[in-house]
Amino acid sequence: MLCTLNEILPHAKKHGYAVPAFDYIEDVFVRPILEASGELRAPVILAGLPANIGGRGLDYIAGIVKAVAPAYAIPVVLHLDHAGEIEVIKRAIAAGFTSVMFDGSGYPLGENIAKTREVVKYAHARGVTVEAELGFVAGTDLGGDAGDVRLTEPGEVERFVAETEVDALAVSIGTIHGVYRAAPRLDLARLAEIVAVTDVPLVLHGGSGTPEDQLKDAIRGGIAKLNIYTDMRIAMNAGVAEAAAIVGARRDELPDRVLEPLYRGVFEQTKRNIDLTMCAGAY
Ligand SMILES: [Zn+2]
């Protein structure tokens, strides 16, 4: 069933697990993610980036997810990831997205607060939840300039949450978007300081490739939503390589056999991430 972040993240926080948010670009991702989550009775967030699903993609994905979500007995959130423009957010909400992230992390604090509050006002009036980001999670994954990591300042969190009324807050504690060049070390002491000053469920971006023990510690320490994209791409690309070999052997091979390795790759990776976030059997 389709729902918002507020219907799942407080439960995750209370019970010490996180809900995985998988970025997708097409229904080739959506179906195996929902199948694996349904099988393991795990809540799931389908997160799409404006660069991947902008324009007609918003209607296309929303149409698919709205139609199929009721077939699964688990909570499904249809979420817009890293939106920087309120116009895109308005279009996503009109299309049926139940949740949006406004990423104002590139702005100075006061401007981030003002813009986030505007989005929250608009979204809450329509029953849609909002995630924001304080600090900056760097990486080349999202295109453009990677920028420098700015860890979240615990001293800014209380004011940010009080003035914006966000439903979830992405924090920067040492992860990056994309593939790591050196093993990260998460700042769990900083996470504890943030948890001490706010009740809002916290979000960690850049989950892919982060050592499992550190991620689990972060989840037990208060992270309620974990974003995963790179690992899904790697899994799907391995499926594409398998599919290429199948087509190489028979160029008119049936499409279900060609696509099977792609679906299987995403399906198995989803299960691994459900394991990692400890959310199996939550529903
Ligand atoms: Zn992100």
Q: What is the pTM of this model?
A: 0.95
132, β-bridge pairs: 102, 169
Per DSSP, the three-state class of 182 is coil
For residue 13, what are the CA distances in angstroms to 146, 151, 217?
30, 22, 13
209 or 100, higher pLDDT: 100
Residue 231: active-site member? no
- pLDDT tens track for 203-218: 999 989 899 999 999 9
Kindly state the average pLDDT of the residues 125-150: 81
Q: How far apart are CA 79 and CA 100, in angstroms?
A: 5
The alpha carbon of 162 and the centre of ligand 1 are apart by a number of angstroms equal to 23
| pLDDT score of 15 | 96
- pLDDT tens track for 7-44: 999 999 999 999 999 998 888 899 999 999 999 999 99
Which entry of 23, 81, 141, 187 is annotated as an active-site residue? 81
| pLDDT score of 182 | 84
The alpha carbon of 227 and the centre of ligand 1 are apart by a number of angstroms equal to 7
The structure tokens listed for 99 are 């949740």
The alpha carbon of 121 and the centre of ligand 1 are apart by a number of angstroms equal to 22
* Phi and psi based region of residue 248 (left: phi greater than 0; alpha: psi -120 to 50; beta: remaining): alpha
> How buried is residue 45: exposed, middle or buried, by Cβ count under 10 Å (0-12/13-18/19+)?
buried
Q: DSSP letters along 213-278, please?
A: HHHHHHHHTTEEEEEE-HHHHHHHHHHHHHHHHHHHH-TT--HHHHHHHHHHHHHHHHHHHHHHHT
The alpha carbon of 52 and the centre of ligand 1 are apart by a number of angstroms equal to 13
| pLDDT score of 181 | 83
Per-residue confidence band for 144, with pLDDT thresholds at 50, 70 and 90: very low
**Which domains are delineated in the chain?**
2-277 (3.20.20.70)
The alpha carbon of 13 and the centre of ligand 1 are apart by a number of angstroms equal to 20
The alpha carbon of 230 and the centre of ligand 1 are apart by a number of angstroms equal to 11
| pLDDT score of 166 | 98
Q: With 80 as the cut, is the pLDDT of residue 279 above it? A: yes
| pLDDT score of 27 | 81
Kindly state the average pLDDT of the residues 237-261: 96
72 or 184, higher pLDDT: 72
Kindly state the average pLDDT of the residues 98-111: 96
The alpha carbon of 177 and the centre of ligand 1 are apart by a number of angstroms equal to 6
